[in-house]
Structures are given as structure tokens and as C-alpha cells.
């Protein structure tokens, strides 16, 4: 990858990070600035993604895919990586949903009676365990590759 492409991607990533925050800080103190900031953030994120695809994959795609398959070790290795990513991602999504429900209920219960802090933390920790189980399974999958 040439130096110009690297510099262009770094500048695009920095702009995509700082410009939405600037729009948020400069905007009026109302709900509209959140929407404006989100729209600018989405525009720069997908714009940077499109720019990276154009700059990095503008060459011969056939040669790159053939080289990637020969270096990766075949279809089973690629599917193993996809399986590990799916296990980790889906378990973290499930754990996040469980933690959000358990933590909000725990905060409500603690606000009424502060003596149940330890019990509520146990339930939140059990919900986080789902993510750790998914991570352990993905390490087991990657260990077999």
C-alpha cells in the first residue's frame, strides 16, 4: 500500500472522529444537535468505509482472493474463523441484553434497599458470564484450527 493511500486513510479516519464531535459541541443546546451529530457521524463513517474499499481494493480482486485462499489453508479454516467470530459476537449481544435487564432491575432494587447490593451484583455477574462462555468456546474453536 502506498504512502499516499495510508495518509489519506489516516486523515479520513481522523476527520470522521473529530467532525461529529465538533458538530455536537458547536450546535444549539437542543435535541436537534444529537440528530445532526449522528447524521454527520454516519456520513463520515460510511464515507471512510467506502474510501477505504476504493483505495485498498481497487486492484486485481481475483489475484487477492486466490492468494488469500491459498494462505488461509482452505475452506475449513475460513469457516472456523467465521464460527469463532459468530460465537463471540452473538454471546456478547446476548450478554449485553441480559446485563441491561439485570443491572436496571438491580439499580431500582438498590435504590429502595441498599442492603441487597451484594445479591444484585451476583445476578449482574451471572449475566456477564454468558459473554465469557462464548469467548471460551471461540478459543476452543481457534485452538482446533
Whole-number Å distance between alpha carbons of 68 and 75: 11
pLDDT for 5 equals 73
40-69 residue pLDDT tens: 777 877 877 787 777 777 655 555 555 555
Domain 71-144 in CATH 1.20.20.10? The answer is yes
Q: Which grid cell is 143?
A: 485452538
1: which DSSP letter? -
List own/partner pairs for 15-22 with CB under 8 A and 24 or more apart. Answer: 15/44, 15/48, 16/41, 16/44, 16/45, 16/47, 16/48, 19/44, 20/44
Q: Is the pLDDT of residue 25 over 80?
A: no
Q: Are 131 and 91 in contact (CB under 8 A)?
A: yes
Q: How confident is the model at residue 34 (pLDDT cuts 50, 70, 90)?
A: confident
Q: Does 10 score more than 70 pLDDT?
A: yes
- Residue 69 has a pLDDT of 56
Residue pLDDT, tens place only, 75-106: 788 888 999 999 999 999 999 998 988 888 88
How confident is the prediction for the chain on average, in pLDDT? 80
| Domain map (residue ranges) of the chain | 3-58, 71-144
Q: Are 80 and 142 in contact (CB under 8 A)?
A: yes
Kindly indicate the confidence band of residue 37, based on its pLDDT and cuts at 50, 70 and 90.
confident
Residue with cell 481522523: 14
Task: Give the pLDDT of residue 6.
Answer: 75
Amino acid at each position: 500500500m502506498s504512502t499516499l493511500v495510508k495518509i489519506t486513510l489516516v486523515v479520513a479516519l481522523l476527520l470522521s472522529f473529530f467532525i461529529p464531535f465538533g458538530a455536537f459541541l458547536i450546535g444549539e443546546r437542543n435535541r436537534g444537535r444529537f440528530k445532526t451529530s449522528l447524521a454527520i457521524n454516519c456520513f463520515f463513517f460510511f464515507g471512510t468505509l467506502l474510501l477505504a474499499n476504493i483505495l485498498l481494493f481497487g486492484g486485481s480482486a481475483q489475484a487477492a482472493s486466490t492468494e488469500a485462499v491459498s494462505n488461509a489453508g482452505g475452506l475449513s479454516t475460513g469457516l472456523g474463523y467465521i464460527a469463532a467470530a459468530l460465537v463471540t459476537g452473538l454471546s456478547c449481544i446476548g450478554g449485553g441484553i441480559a446485563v441491561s435487564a439485570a443491572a436496571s432491575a438491580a439499580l431500582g432494587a438498590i435504590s429502595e434497599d441498599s442492603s441487597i447490593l451484594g445479591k444484585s451484583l451476583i445476578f449482574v455477574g451471572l449475566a456477564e458470564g454468558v459473554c465469557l462462555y462464548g469467548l471460551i468456546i471461540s478459543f476452543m474453536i481457534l485452538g482446533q484450527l
